[in-house]
Chain A
Amino acid sequence: MTRTLFTNARLLDPAQALDAPGYLLAEDGLITAAGAGSADTTLRKDAEIIDCKGACLAPGLVDMRVQSADPGAEHLEDLHTLLHAAASGGISTIVALPNAKPVIDDASMIDSLSLRATRIGGARLRLYGAATRKLRGKAMAELGLMAEAGAVGFSNGNRCIMDSLVMRRLLAYSAMLDRPFIQHCEDHDLTAAGEMNEGETSTRLGLIGAPAEAEAIIIDRDLHLIRMTGARYHAAHISTRAAIESIRRAKAEGLPVTADTAPPYFMLNEMAVSTYDTAFKLSPPLRSEDDRQAVIAALADGTIDAIASDHVPVDGDAKAQPFGPSQPGASGVDTLLALTLSLVHQGHLELLRALELLSLAPSTILDLGGGALIPGTAADLVMFDADSSHIIRGSAFASSSRVTPFEGMPVQGRVLATYVAGAPIFRA
């Protein structure tokens, strides 16, 4: 039996609204005791003692939107690098999208990737199954078999399901399997060749605009289908005020709807594109300042449930192009915690709320059974210093994908250690 006792910690558990100096005991991978004050001597017996020296100790982050370049483009970032980069970012579980090559639309791929991940160590890997075969948005993939193999939900990657009949059936089937459906909310017909958010900046730069309405149009359609099917629906990387208002109304109505956003959408706006710097080419695109403010408000009031990194490994060559043809996406696992903490330092969120967005909420949405410091749950933990400052440098990333829209940005928050099942997967 392995026993690890964390002492002198600032215990932070959004599940219990706990923020107090305390201790935590992990035994054989599970949390067995946690509480305020100092651990009594019986807990110390035969335990490895880790003195947190006042650092924050919280549930490990659950990053519910990550693209893995492995399989298919391992030269950009293989699974080993990704899981260790996540670990260094305080993430104990990542949930990977099915848009790999080949597409993860088959139970055997869920099996084999999950197995590979256990051999690697680093963060835990969970997977979404592709909603449709080859992500083409037409024929349904074997959702049931993938669910049995461990798929935590279904997603069509960065392609929205445009066909309403296909969408209705996917929601109905997901409801039967009791798995959430993760939608990339974008009316592709409306955004067409869009290169950035439509507005004054796109006009000035001569870039083709993708209107913000493309996001809310899909959510509004899907809400009707959710009423028909009762499916659990999760709107991914929400970026616009209109979409947020739709989700707010759906929640008020009691529909089983959740949403996440990613740091670019609460940290940056479309003005960043002004230099044509392709690090700011993202999907969805950076929006207006008004949208950014709406995202922050929605994170604070609970309309948006979770924050994910939206990590996308991108080839430098795919970015060394004019803005239009350059590939969207940027690295995210290295900066997820510090960027989210900036909302705390700016006074928009309480620290416990920030941690809820990063661990408890995604864990609950996907039924992962973690994200809390309650005895009986897995001892997946992050130890961090919430105030230590540094400047974001892509070149210093543990991820092998080093494109970031946050290059040179000063942030506060440093991960000291990350644990999975009580064992360290990262130590600073």
Chain B
Amino acid sequence: MTGQSQTGAPDGAASPKSTRKAGSGSPVSLPHRHLLGIEGLSPIDILALIDRGDMFADLIQSDTAPPPFSETLRGRTIINLFFENSTRTRVSFELAAKHLGGSVLNINVAGSSVKKGETLLDTATTLNAMHPHILVVRHNCSGAAKLLSQHVDAAVINAGDGRHEHPTQALLDALTIKRRVGRIQGLKIAICGDIANSRVARSNIHLLATLGAEIRLVCPTTLLPAAIDMMGVEVFTDLEEGIRDADIVMMLRLQTERMEGTETPSQREYFNLFGLDRTKLMRAAPNALIMHPGPMNRGVEIDSATADDVEKSLIRTQVEIGVAARMACLEALAGASGDRR
């Protein structure tokens, strides 16, 4: 579906009533200085970002004009500050910023996890002196993006903080689903794997629940966070049960350090019990779609035949749509970053 230049009311959701936005035809105006998480965003904010991302995705795919597609970030400096290794997220943000005419700087801060923590505020102070407009930050500690936002003048986008949130991933996931299925409300979505350590899971639970999806979590009991049922989800420890009749099966990456230890006994057992293959997938709805935030461990949480199934797998689409979703986010914060300078 396209929402291009029209006030595309999303399926199954109330049309946004706010006067802050005028549909996907103009930049989203968020009532926040930063984008630190999905929790705290209103349904209106979320829908507006998705609609705007939808429009950008059309624009990118239409091939009618070469990038940049907009001058919104012209003269604005965007710094990608990554304390954890990343290829797809960093490149996605970089491309999104360039599509909007912005100047992008990539900083990869290497080092041990302890050293990363020690240098966060020093790095923030140093970068702040260079007057960036938007800081895109990834860090291995939960709450790091919020801490950074308290010490810089720039608008901060959380590109993943520890086990907490990864809001742009959830937005791109929702946009991917919406473009393929047409709606989110009422969909049965199973999120499977290392829930305890996943920021993607938390952001997706917040976002998809806010938009009215039915969320199931599937994971071994050792990777299930405490009191997770308080987030309005149903929990399964049997993959085939958990994905029964599911419209979307979202697989999560199992961290390599958990493959053999006290959380799961072996890679072999994990794949056997919790890995997705064609046989197990038959339990899901006939038109079920598969998602994965990447990078995948083939043969651990998902087998290659399933991951690469062009009919069912949205994994490559997610990467493509990620740029559009992040354009909507960068654009929305560009206003805030400009006002304060």
Asked whether A185 is an interface residue with its Cβ less than 8 Å from the other chain, the reply is no
Check if B141 sits within 8 Å of A198, measured CB to CB.
Answer: no
Check if A324 sits within 8 Å of B117, measured CB to CB.
Answer: yes
Check if B227 sits within 8 Å of A322, measured CB to CB.
Answer: no
Check if A276 sits within 8 Å of B147, measured CB to CB.
Answer: yes
A:158-216 near B, CB below 8 Å: 195, 198-200, 202-209, 211
By a CB distance below 8 angstroms, the chain A residues around B142 are: 195, 205-207, 276, 322-324
Distance in Å from the Cβ of A361 to the closest Cβ of chain B? Answer: 34
Check if A206 sits within 8 Å of B118, measured CB to CB.
Answer: no
By a CB distance below 8 angstroms, the chain A residues around B141 are: 321-325
By a CB distance below 8 angstroms, the chain B residues around A322 are: 117, 120, 139, 141-144, 147, 162
The CA-CA distance from A198 to B162 in the complex, in Å, is 16
Distance in Å from the Cβ of B20 to the closest Cβ of chain A? Answer: 26
The CA-CA distance from A207 to B121 in the complex, in Å, is 20
By a CB distance below 8 angstroms, the chain B residues around A209 are: 225-226
Check if A206 sits within 8 Å of B161, measured CB to CB.
Answer: yes
The CA-CA distance from A206 to B165 in the complex, in Å, is 8
The CA-CA distance from A184 to B227 in the complex, in Å, is 27
- A-B contacts besides A203-B225, A276-B146, A321-B121, 8 pairs, CB < 8 Å: A206-B143, A206-B165, A207-B164, A208-B163, A275-B146, A321-B120, A323-B142, A325-B117
Contact A206 B162, CB 8 Å, known A323-B143, A325-B114:
yes
Distance in Å from the Cβ of B250 to the closest Cβ of chain A? Answer: 18
Check if B227 sits within 8 Å of A200, measured CB to CB.
Answer: yes
Partner-B contacts on A (CB < 8 A): 195, 198-200, 202-209, 211, 275-276, 320-326
The CA-CA distance from A199 to B147 in the complex, in Å, is 22
Of the candidates A195, A200, A275, A325, which one forms a contact with B226 in the assembled complex, judged by CB atoms under 8 Å apart? A200
By a CB distance below 8 angstroms, the chain A residues around B162 are: 206-207, 322, 324
Check if B143 sits within 8 Å of A320, measured CB to CB.
Answer: no
Distance in Å from the Cβ of B123 to the closest Cβ of chain A? Answer: 12
A-B pair number, CB within 8 angstroms: 74
The CA-CA distance from A322 to B145 in the complex, in Å, is 9
Asked whether B230 is an interface residue with its Cβ less than 8 Å from the other chain, the reply is yes
By a CB distance below 8 angstroms, the chain B residues around A199 are: 226-227
Contact A203 B147, CB 8 Å, known A322-B142, A323-B141:
no
A-B contact pairs, 5 of them (CB 8 A): A199-B227, A206-B163, A206-B199, A206-B202, A207-B162
Of the candidates B121, B139, B147, B164, which one forms a contact with A205 in the assembled complex, judged by CB atoms under 8 Å apart? B164
Check if B227 sits within 8 Å of A203, measured CB to CB.
Answer: yes
By a CB distance below 8 angstroms, the chain A residues around B163 are: 206-208
By a CB distance below 8 angstroms, the chain B residues around A275 are: 146
By a CB distance below 8 angstroms, the chain B residues around A206 are: 142-143, 161-165, 199, 202
Partner-A contacts on B (CB < 8 A): 39, 113-114, 117-118, 120-121, 139, 141-144, 146-147, 161-165, 199, 202, 225-228, 230-231
Distance in Å from the Cβ of B229 to the closest Cβ of chain A? Answer: 9
Distance in Å from the Cβ of B278 to the closest Cβ of chain A? Answer: 33
Residue of B nearest to A273 (CB): B143
Distance in Å from the Cβ of A180 to the closest Cβ of chain B? Answer: 34
Distance in Å from the Cβ of B16 to the closest Cβ of chain A? Answer: 26
Residue of A nearest to B114 (CB): A325
By a CB distance below 8 angstroms, the chain B residues around A276 are: 142-143, 146-147
The CA-CA distance from A78 to B139 in the complex, in Å, is 35
By a CB distance below 8 angstroms, the chain B residues around A195 are: 142
Residue of A nearest to B201 (CB): A206
Distance in Å from the Cβ of A188 to the closest Cβ of chain B? Answer: 15
By a CB distance below 8 angstroms, the chain A residues around B161 are: 206
By a CB distance below 8 angstroms, the chain A residues around B139 are: 322
The CA-CA distance from A325 to B230 in the complex, in Å, is 27
Residue of B nearest to A196 (CB): B142
By a CB distance below 8 angstroms, the chain B residues around A203 are: 225-228, 230-231
The CA-CA distance from A323 to B140 in the complex, in Å, is 11
By a CB distance below 8 angstroms, the chain B residues around A200 are: 226-227, 230
Residue of B nearest to A195 (CB): B142
Distance in Å from the Cβ of A427 to the closest Cβ of chain B? Answer: 39
Residue of B nearest to A208 (CB): B163
By a CB distance below 8 angstroms, the chain B residues around A205 are: 142-143, 164
Q: Most B CB atoms within 10 A — which of A195, A198, A203? A: A203
Q: Most B CB atoms within 10 A — which of A200, A202, A211, A276? A: A276
The CA-CA distance from A214 to B141 in the complex, in Å, is 24
The CA-CA distance from A200 to B39 in the complex, in Å, is 14
By a CB distance below 8 angstroms, the chain B residues around A324 are: 117, 141-143, 162
By a CB distance below 8 angstroms, the chain A residues around B231 are: 203-204
By a CB distance below 8 angstroms, the chain A residues around B143 are: 205-207, 276, 322-324
Q: Most B CB atoms within 10 A — which of A206, A320, A323? A: A206
Contact A204 B121, CB 8 Å, known A322-B143, A323-B143, A324-B162:
no
The CA-CA distance from A195 to B114 in the complex, in Å, is 14
Residue of A nearest to B227 (CB): A200
By a CB distance below 8 angstroms, the chain B residues around A208 are: 163
Contact A321 B117, CB 8 Å, known A198-B226, A199-B227:
yes
Distance in Å from the Cβ of B32 to the closest Cβ of chain A? Answer: 15
The CA-CA distance from A275 to B142 in the complex, in Å, is 11
Distance in Å from the Cβ of A199 to the closest Cβ of chain B? Answer: 5
Distance in Å from the Cβ of B160 to the closest Cβ of chain A? Answer: 10
Residue of B nearest to A324 (CB): B141
By a CB distance below 8 angstroms, the chain B residues around A207 are: 142-143, 162-164
The CA-CA distance from A108 to B83 in the complex, in Å, is 46
The CA-CA distance from A204 to B225 in the complex, in Å, is 9
By a CB distance below 8 angstroms, the chain A residues around B120 are: 321-322
Distance in Å from the Cβ of A278 to the closest Cβ of chain B? Answer: 9
Contact A204 B39, CB 8 Å, known A276-B147, A322-B117, A323-B143:
yes
Distance in Å from the Cβ of A192 to the closest Cβ of chain B? Answer: 10
Distance in Å from the Cβ of A286 to the closest Cβ of chain B? Answer: 15
Distance in Å from the Cβ of A13 to the closest Cβ of chain B? Answer: 46
What are the nearest 7 A-B pairs in CB distance? A206-B164, A322-B141, A276-B143, A206-B163, A325-B117, A206-B142, A200-B227
Residue of A nearest to B121 (CB): A320
By a CB distance below 8 angstroms, the chain A residues around B199 are: 206
By a CB distance below 8 angstroms, the chain A residues around B165 are: 206
The CA-CA distance from A199 to B120 in the complex, in Å, is 27
By a CB distance below 8 angstroms, the chain B residues around A204 are: 39, 202, 231
